[in-house]
Amino acid sequence: MTHPIHPQARIGHVHLKVADLDRAIAFYSGVLGFEVQQHFGSQAAFLGAGGYHHHIGLNTWESKGGRAPAPGSTGLYHTAFLYPDRAQLADALRRVLAAGIELEGAADHGVSEAIYLRDPDGNGVELYRDRAPEDWPRDAQGNLKMTNAHLDLHALLAEAPRD
């Protein structure tokens, strides 16, 4: 018999192998807005939001100058960054587009709205916001019924806070 993980357990942070530390910092800090909390020499940096020690670790310990994994290989599919509300997701989308970063997709999953892209090292990135659980779609029996519908990016952008 398996025992479920405690319901308060969370994924705390992610460490990514990158080819160029400065380029990765420019994306995660300059575009997405995470704050550099600490450099670990010239080989690693730790970035966080809200003063947290780190949500993202970036390092070149085994990957300096390396290539992205080939399509069809195993590895991390994407890292997902949860925004507190639709306006903040819209602001992140605005910054991504302003930086000239191409989107790979966007979807309304019923439980959440998500935008998909790649970082400079080819790592998948999901930017998303959750809907309130009482707004999640359910079937007649009350079972969760996620979707993969079109996300209207123009409508989302209209909700971005004005500087």
Domain ranges of the chain: 1-64, 77-163
Q: Which fold has domain 77-163?
A: 2,3-Dihydroxybiphenyl 1,2-Dioxygenase; domain 1 (3.10.180)
Confidence of residue 162 (pLDDT cuts 50, 70, 90): confident
| pLDDT (tens digit per residue) in 63-113 | 999 998 888 888 888 999 999 999 999 999 999 999 999 999 999 999 999
Confidence of residue 32 (pLDDT cuts 50, 70, 90): very high
Q: Is 38 helix (H, G, I), strand (E, B) or coil?
A: strand
Closest C-alpha to 93, from 2, 159, 29, 157:
157
pLDDT of residue 2: 83
Beta strands 56-59 and 14-17, pairing class: parallel
* N residues, the chain: 163
pTM of the model: 0.91
To the question of domain 1-64 being in CATH 1.10.3720.10, the answer is no
Alpha-carbon distance 58 to 105, whole Å? 24
Q: 130-135: long-range contacts (C-beta < 8 A, 24 or more apart)?
A: 130/82
Structure-token pair, residue 77: 């599919």
Place of tokens 């450099």: 39
Mean predicted lDDT score pLDDT of the chain = 94
Query: Is it true that 1-64 and 77-163 share their CATH fold?
Result: yes
